């Protein structure tokens, strides 16, 4: 299982992403992002644990969630 940060910029998009992914059974939490994403919003995103991020990204984009960036944080659950 891999751990990813999906930067959304605003807390509104982060909460929307959390609700969408939570309903699909994913483990996800809202988190403040690092400063390099803050220039495009308030600096929020979601952390998700999954094996393949591509379907997650497609689901969020098709649901109207603005994604500023995605990065793998670390391996494993924490």
Print pLDDT tens along the chain (78 aa).
899 999 998 999 999 999 999 999 999 999 988 756 555 566 899 999 999 999 999 999 999 999 999 999 866 454
Half-sphere exposure of 68 (CA within 13 A, CB side): 22
pLDDT score recorded for residue 29: 95
- Using CA atoms in the order 16, 52, 68, 35, what is the torsion angle rounded to 10 degrees? 100
Q: Which residues contact 44 (CB under 8 A, 6 or more apart)?
A: 7, 8, 9, 10, 11, 13, 14, 30, 31, 32, 33
pLDDT score recorded for residue 78: 46
User: DSSP character for 34?
Assistant: P
């Amino acid at each position: 299982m891999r751990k990813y940060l999906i930067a959304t910029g605003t807390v509104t998009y982060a909460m929307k992403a959390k609700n969408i992914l939570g309903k699909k059974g994913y483990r996800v939490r809202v988190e403040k992002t690092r400063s390099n994403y803050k220039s495009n919003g308030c600096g929020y995103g979601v952390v998700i644990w999954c094996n393949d991020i591509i379907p997650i990204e497609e689901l969020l984009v098709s649901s109207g969630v603005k994604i500023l960036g995605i990065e793998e944080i670390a391996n494993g659950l924490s």
